[in-house]
Structure 1
Amino acid sequence: MNNNNYLEDFITRSTYHSNAIEGSTLTYAETYAILFNDNSFKISGREPREIYEAINHKKAMNVLFEKLKSDDLELNEEFIKKINETINQDIRDTKGYRKVSVMIKGSDDIPPKPEQLNNLMMYFVYNYNHNETKDIFEKIAGFHIEFEHIHPFEDGNGRTGRLLINFELLKNNIPPIVIPKEERTKYFELLRSKDITALASWLKELSDKEKERIELFNSSNS
C-alpha cells in the first residue's frame, strides 16, 4: 500500500463500488473528482448526500489506515463506532449503536433489538478476537456475516462492514478487496445464505485479483 498511484486507485474504486452497492448513482469519474479535487470535472445534479457519502468513505478509509499504523491492531468497539460515525458525518446525526429497530433491505433476516446490542457487540468482538480459525478468509467471512446480521447501526452497516473486512486483511498483510457493484446480487445472496465457506472462497478470489493489480502498479513504477 506504499504506492501512491495504487492507493489513489484503490481508494477511488473502494469508495465508488461500496457506495454504489448501497444505491449511490455517482459515476466512477465523479467519485474520483470528489475525492481528489479534480476541478476539471464538473459535477451537477447530484444529491448532497451522495457527495458526502463519497467524502466520508475516504475519511473512514483514512481512519482505517491510521489504525494500521498504530501499535493497537486488535479490533475493538471504539474503532468500529468511529468508522461508522465517520461514514455518517454530515448525513445522519447518530453516534453509537442504533436505538431503533431496523430491517435489512432485501432480506428476511431480522436484526436484534436495540436493547440487545451493547452485550451482543461486546461478545461479538471478544469472540472474533479469540477465534482460532486458521483460515483467515473463513474467520473474516464469519465475522462479516454476523456483523451484517447484527446490523448495529441505523445506517452505514454495509459500508462499515466492508471496511472492516479490509482492516482485517491488511492487518494480516493480505491484499484488500473491492466488491464490485456488478456483483451486488451475488454478495447479498452470500450474506443471506450465511455460507461462510462460499463467502470465504469469494473473498480470497477478490483478494488474489487485487494482488495482481498491486503488482501491475508496482511494475509500472519500477
Structure 2
Amino acid sequence: MQKLRVRWTHSSTALKGNALTEAETLDLLQYGLTIAGKPLAHHNEVLGHSRAIELLYRLIADSRPLTDPDLHALHAAIQTSVEVEYLKPVGAWKVEPNSTLAKQEGRTVINDTYAAPEQVPALMREWFKGFAMRRDDPSVPALDAYAWSHATLVRIHPYADGNGRLARLVANVPVIEKGCLPILVPAGQRLEYIECLASWQMASGALRAGTALEGNRDRLAQFHEKCAGWMKSSSSLLDEVEEAQRQRRGAITPA
C-alpha cells in the first residue's frame, strides 16, 4: 500500500509537471524530508495528492454514491496553492471558461472544447449517472469504467485547475472496487497521454448540455487502448511486491 501511494502520487503529479522524482516523493511522504532545490509548491502537490488518496479510500470503504461534495473535497485536497483567487475557486465548479494549448497537424492550437461554466452542473449530473452505472454494474469491466470516467470528466473540465489529477483519482474508484489495482498513467508517457485526450476532445467539438459525453467514439477508443496498456503496466507493481516477499522468505532460514 505504501509503494502504491508513492507511485500513484508521483505518476499523477509528474504528469502535471511536478519536479520531484519517485524516490524524492517517497522521502517526502514516508520520512517528511524536503528536497533541496525543488519548489515548495511541488512538495505541497505531493502531500495534497497523498491526502486525496486517503479520502478516496474512505469513499470506497463507505460504499456509497459519489456526490458533488465528495468531488469538491477531493479537489480541495489536491489544490494546495496558497494563493486564493475568486476566479479560480477551490472545491467548487469553475466560474470562468478555461482552455489549453494542443498540437494539431504540427501546429499549436487552442483547445477550447471544454464545457462553459454555466453548462457544468447539468453535464456533471450526467457524468455522475454514467459513473454510478459503470461503478455498480458488475458486467462493466474495470478498464471500461476507468477509460469512460477519466476521459469524460477531463472533457467537461469542471474545475479551474486540477481536472487531470482529479480524473486520475476518481476514475480508479470502480477499478479498485472491481478488484483491480489502480490504473496509473506513466510519467514518461506524459506527452502521449495529453495529446491522445486533446485529439479526442477536439475531434468531438465543444461540449454542451444535452450532447453525448463520449463525443467521437473512434478517438475515444484510442484512449481506451492506451488505458489497457497502462493497466498492464500497473499490474507490475504487484509483481514487484510479490517478488520482494519471495526473496524475503528465501532469506529467512530456520534457527
Measured against the shorter chain, the TM-score band is: 0.7 to 0.9
Give, in angstroms, the shift of residue 175 of structure 1: 1.6
d(CA) in 1 for partners of 2:67, 2:181: 22
Larger radius of gyration: 2
Aligned partners of 1:137 and 1:201 also within 8 Å? no
In structure 2, the residue matched to 1:31 is 25
Aligned partners of 2:145 and 2:174 also within 8 Å? no
Aligned partners of 1:100 and 1:113 also within 8 Å? yes
Structure 2: state its 5+ residue gaps. Answer: 85-89, 103-109, 201-218, 247-255
- Residue 110 in structure 1 maps to residue 134 in structure 2: no
Letter in 2 for 1:176: P
Aligned partners of 1:138 and 1:196 also within 8 Å? no
Give, in angstroms, the shift of residue 59 of structure 1: 0.3
Give, in angstroms, the shift of residue 119 of structure 1: 1.5
C-alpha deviations, 1:138-176, integer Å up to 9, x for none? Answer: 332122221111111111111001011222210211121
d(CA) in 1 for partners of 2:140, 2:173: 18
C-alpha deviations, 1:69-123, integer Å up to 9, x for none? Answer: 1131x33322222111111135454221111111134352421111221121112
- Residue 169 in structure 1 maps to residue 175 in structure 2: yes
In structure 2, the residue matched to 1:4 is none
In structure 1, the residue matched to 2:146 is 140
Q: TM-score normalized by structure 1?
A: 0.85
Secondary structure class of the residue paired with 1:139 = helix
Secondary structure class of the residue paired with 1:25 = coil
Aligned partners of 2:98 and 2:114 also within 8 Å? yes
- Residue 119 in structure 1 maps to residue 122 in structure 2: yes
More contact order relative to length (CA 8 Å, sep ≥ 6):
1
- Residue 70 in structure 1 maps to residue 66 in structure 2: no
In structure 2, the residue matched to 1:96 is 92
Letter in 2 for 1:14: W
The range that moved more, 136-145 or 48-57, is: 136-145
Percent of matched pairs sharing the same residue:
22
- Structure 2 CA distance for partners of 1:49 and 1:66, relative to 1, 3 Å: same
The CA RMSD over aligned residues, in Å, is: 2.1
Structure 1: state its 5+ residue gaps. Answer: 1-6
Equivalent in 110, 130, 133 of residue 130 of structure 1: 133
Secondary structure class of the residue paired with 2:183 = coil
- Residue 158 in structure 1 maps to residue 164 in structure 2: yes
Give, in angstroms, the shift of residue 60 of structure 1: 0.3
